[in-house]
Every structure is written in structure tokens, then in C-alpha cells.
Chain A
Amino acid sequence: MTLQIQARLRYGDNFELSVDQVLPLCGVTALFGRSGCGKTTLLRIIAGLERVGDARVQFGEHPWQQGRLFVPLHRRRIGLVFQEPSLLAHLSVRDNLVYGYRRTPAAQRRLHLPEVAAMLGIEALLDRRIDQLSGGERQRISLGRALLISPQLLLLDEPMAALDTQTKRDIMPFLSRMAAESGVPMIMVSHAPDEVARLADRVAFMQAGQIPRVESLHEALARPQSPLFDDAGAASILEGIPGEPEADGVRPFGPPLARLWIPDTQTVGAGQPIRLRVLARDVSLSLDDPHRISIQNHLPVTIERIDPPHQHRIVVACRTNDGQLLLAEVTSRAVSQLGLRPGLSLYALIKSVALLD
């Protein structure tokens, strides 16, 4: 299944949206770009909130907009979540949640209140009044409300932009659980690299009203100077399943031949796949496996690519034994002293990892 979008739109003299794109409808697609590049406008065209004359939007087999045909939003079964929670102020939490559920034909209901409430951890909030909820709780209610129409597609317009850092950290696991468990394809507008790295399966880069490329998260992160690298520089994402925590506060992550030890956190249950974000500058390379060293994580890797130097720093892309890409940032001098070259097997020493959860 794919979502096809063709749209051209001029806004005054200095902004033009011009998109002709086919997006796969599975998992999470991040619409990534700077503020004002047209992400929200594109999302509104997909939703049918912005009616652009000659746009064409097709969802799988169903044309949503084509020529004079225009399916209004309330018939598209799209779950919408905005930046600000947008709860209906005259309704209770429960009534907000079931507003769309009640309007969904029984035959199309796949998600029901108890499971959605459990997924988002909002069981205790159901009988509260809206003005008794915090910002993060409101946004979770908005997410639940959108899910309860059993949508064919979920559009999230920077759902965490209005939340503070702590609330954002609290809500992130719920979003990723939602992406994994609901089975609803999601398109998420974002300008935050950490959100994208945490949640997305693929990234549609948007720039000045256009989408120059769509690629998988791993491809996007493997690229030198990827737009997904923020101030902290190049970073890689490792996916794996954590094991049971051990007594000294660490737990294993990943298969034995590419095993990492990560700090134990309460939020992640054993056996659930999670993502780790590793900054390239926190990864050192060593030709042999050092034993008398405090760094716990030594991964055997093979160099796949060495990027051209940038201010005498070089990003070395390595492949782990379980086939994942790990970036290490070293100096030009280190590359020549160690004789680093593609194909060389060596050890990556990882100083710290960030758990994206």
C-alpha cells in the first residue's frame, strides 16, 4: 500500500510547495525539515484540510483527491494529532476519547478503549475533567482519541513540540509503543532529529517545499553529513532486544556476537526491541581488544567506509557482527597511524549510549 501525493501550491512570492511523491504505508514515516519548509501544509493537504486545486492524493486504491473528486476529512478515517492537544473543552476525558469511536462503524473498529487506554497509560485519567490534566496527559488523550477511530492512517503534526523536555521523554515510549502495536501507518512531521531517530522507519526530507529524497532511517543515518545529525555530530542507531538486568545495574543488549552492556532502566521490559543512539564521537577504534580498560563495550566490527575529513575529523562507518552500522569519529592522524581502510576488522569501543526510550 502506498500514499501518492501530487501537489503544487504558491504562497506569495517566496514559498512554493511542489511535491510528487509516493510514500509506503507501513511503519512510521518522518516528514523532516526545518520550520517553514511546508511540512505542515503537506500534512494538511493529505488530510484534506487544505484544499489545493489541482492536487492529487491517493490512498492505496482509493483516490482521496483527484480533479473534482474530493473526499472530505470525516470520510477519510485519518487520525490527526496536532502540536497542541486540542481536546474538545466541553467534553470529559472519556467523551473526548470515544467521540470518534462512536462515529466509527462497528465493523471497522479494530482498536477499543480498554486496550488503547492501557497502551497509553491513561486508564486512571478517564473520569477526570480536562482542566485537571497536564500537557503530557492531554496529548496522550489526543493520541488515544485519534487511535480509537481505528484510522487507516495517522498524521502527527509535531505532537511533542509543545511539550517540555521531561514530558516529551515521558510520552516518547507511548508513541513508539503505539507505532509498534497499533499497526496503523503513521506520518509524523518533525524537526527534531532525536524524535526521528527514536520513532521513524523512514525519513522524507523536506526542503523549501520539496521532498528531494525519501530513505530508510538507516540509510539516512549512514550518509555523511546527514541532516539528522544535530549539534552533537554524527550518530548511529543500534536496534536490539535487551535481556534481563543484572545485579550490578547493567543489562545485555543485542545478540552474543554483538553484545553491548547498557545501563538498566526501569522503563524497558526485557524482550522488547529498543533503539540505542550512539554518538560517533563517543566511539573509539582499536586494532586489538583491550582488556585493562574501564570501557565495557567492545564490539568487533569491520570498516565499511571512511568519509572524507571534515576539520581534521573523520567519520568511519563500521559494520557490526549483526549487520548494523556504527559510526566512529576519529582524527585524521588516527586514521593514518592505525592504517584504517575499508575491509579492516577491528574493535569499536563505545563510551556511552543513549537509550532512546
Chain B
Amino acid sequence: MFQLGPAEWQAIGVTVRLCLYTTVILLVLATPLAWWLAQGRSTVRIVVQAIVALPLVLPPTVLGFYLLIVLGPRGLVGETLENIGLRHLAFSFEGILVASVIYSLPFAVQPLTEAFRTLGRRPVEVASSLGAGFWDRFFTVILPLTRGGFLVAATLTFAHTLGEFGVILMLGGSIPGETKVLSVLIYDHAEAMNYGAAHSLSLMLLVFSFVTLFVVYSINRRFEVVRL
């Protein structure tokens, strides 16, 4: 039953690449955003917070549909890319990467915002008064004191990207080696009545997801995985 063929390995490769890239990109993007969100509760922040949380409630097809329009050859972004001699982003790995970043945004931003709120501004003020500049403060005070938040954000982002399906199918289709990720491959197998293959991959994802969540909860028992 657990015989993985070349198609499976190819899908695993695409999936892992997608998850890794998404996680790295999101940590870089979400950190300043979460920091800003943690600084107060002004109306602008509430608006941004709501936008960040949108992927939690929208059907993935809605997100995928709009991304297809924007990133496709006639869309604002897609057309601009074509005009400067690049390819548009629909049905490409880069396209589903952009989609994943947007789709998993709340899973990176929320734990970090929570961690920064708990941290408060005092440690940062202390570090400034002791002569630490911006990056020095970030790496010697903020990061060590909020590493639990970063770990949770990274793990959840990775795991959530792994479970992506609707958005990828809408925007990326099912191109082997390019946009065919595990979840899409399972769908294809099931469609083709190839239940054995679908089952082995499904079980793999199930176990992996469980272990991931178990690790996350062990790291930080106080943490709520998703807050709306």
C-alpha cells in the first residue's frame, strides 16, 4: 500500500518546496506586520487585522478565483509581468507560492502578534537604553524572548500550507512538477478511483499533521491555534 511512485515523489517535492518557501517568506513578512499590529488597537490596525484573518473564513475557491483574475494574463499583476517580459502567474509554481503566502498569512501573523503583545515594549526600551540598536535589539532581545511564537508561527504556516487544496486547484490547476501538490494528487487519485494510492498519501498527511500539531501544543500550551 505504501508504494510511492515517481508521480508521488514529484508531488512531495513540489509540496515540500512550496511549504518551505511559504514559511520563510511569511516569517519575513509577518514579523514587521505582527509587530505593528501588537502596538495598539487603532481603527487602522483593526481593519488590517480583519484583512489578515480573511483567509480563515473565505472559501478557498473565492480566494483562488480572485487570485486567478489578478495574477492571470489579463489581471493587474499578470499583465504587468507580461509587459516587462515575464510570464503571468496563473498555473505556475510562483503563482501558487503567492497564493500560499496570502492563504497562510493569519497562521503566521496571529501567533507573532500574540507573542509581541505578551512581550510588551519594556524589554525593547531596556535594550535601547543599554545601547542596543534596531537589529541588535531584534536578535538579542526580541527573538530570544518570543522564540516560542516564532516556532509556532513557522510550524503552523508549514502545516497549513501542506493542507492547501482549493486555492491551488483554482489558480494552479494540476500540472505535475509545477503545481501538483500532495492534496491535489490525492484528489486526482480519488477521481480516478485509485483508492489505494489516495489512501497511502492521505494517511501520510494525517499522521504528519497530527504530529505537527502535537509538537506545537507541547511547545506552547497557552497558545490558541486560530483566533478569529
Contacts and interface: CB of A to CB of B under 8 A. Distances in A.
Given A88-B141, A103-B136, A47 B126 contact: no
Interface string B135-154: 01100110011000000000
Contact of B130 (A47, A72, A84, A100): A100
A149 interface: yes
A312 B217 CA distance: 71
Contacts of B144: 90
A79 B129 CA distance: 6
A72 B128 contact: yes
Interface string A72-92: 111101111010101011100
Nearest to A81: B129
A82 B122 contact: yes
A174 interface: no
A299 interface: no
Given A88-B145, A90-B145, A74 B125 contact: no
Given A80-B125, A86-B126, A88-B127, A74 B132 contact: yes
Contacts of B125: 49, 73, 80
Q: Which secondary structure characterizes the binding site on chain B?
A: helix
A182 interface: no
Contacts of A49: 125, 128
A88 B123 contact: yes
B115 to A, nearest CB: 13
A74 B133 contact: yes
Given A86-B122, A86-B123, A103-B136, A78 B129 contact: yes
Interface in A67-115: 72-75, 77-80, 82, 84, 86, 88-90, 99-100, 103-104
B129 A146 contact: yes
* Nearest 6 Cβ contacts at the A-B interface: A100-B130, A103-B131, A80-B129, A73-B128, A90-B144, A74-B128
A3 B131 CA distance: 20
Interface string A276-315: 0000000000000000000000000000000000000000
B200 to A, nearest CB: 43
Interface in A45-76: 47, 49, 72-75
B61 to A, nearest CB: 44
Contacts of A104: 131
B131 A77 contact: yes
A202 interface: no
Contacts of A39: none
A231 B126 CA distance: 36
A73 B129 contact: yes
A138 interface: no
A145 interface: yes
A289 B123 CA distance: 60
Given A82-B122, A86-B122, A90-B144, A99 B129 contact: no
A103 B123 contact: no
Contacts of A82: 122, 126
A186 to B, nearest CB: 14
A212 to B, nearest CB: 29
Given A82-B126, A88-B126, A103-B131, 6 more contacts: A74-B133, A89-B145, A90-B144, A99-B130, A104-B131, A149-B129
6 contacts: A72-B128, A73-B129, A74-B137, A80-B129, A88-B126, A90-B144
Given A74-B133, A88-B145, A99 B127 contact: yes
A79 B122 CA distance: 14
A224 B145 CA distance: 51
A79 B131 CA distance: 9
Contacts of A145: 130
Contacts of A77: 131
A111 to B, nearest CB: 13
B145 A47 contact: no
Interface in B3-59: none
A145 B145 CA distance: 19
A80 B127 CA distance: 10
A247 B141 CA distance: 54
B129 A74 contact: yes
Contacts of A100: 129-131
Contacts of A89: 123, 145
A78 B126 CA distance: 10
Nearest to B145: A90
A83 B132 CA distance: 21
